[in-house]
Amino acid sequence: MVDPTSDLEEDVDEESAPGCATCGEPALGNGRRTITWVDGGGAVHRHFCSESCREEWDDE
């Protein structure tokens, strides 16, 4: 998989982009947001298609 968090965003299309944790839409483009934290010794990521979806997200 192409790294969807890269600044280049080359070769990232809707099929290879991660889904937004709030609405399920592809999380790509300039509005994309990613939250990362460590849990149990590993990194956990949540991707969002926009700042508004990130704000609406309710951590499980």
Query: 46 forms bridges with which residues in the sheet?
Result: 35
pLDDT tens for each residue of 40-50: 999 999 999 99
Q: Which two tokens stand for residue 5?
A: 């968090």
* CB distance 37 to 44 below 8 Å: yes
Going from the C-alpha of 13 to that of each of 36, 43, 44, 58, the distances in angstroms are 22, 24, 22, 26
pLDDT tens for each residue of 6-56: 554 566 778 888 899 999 999 988 889 999 999 999 999 999 999 999 999
* CB distance 57 to 33 below 8 Å: no
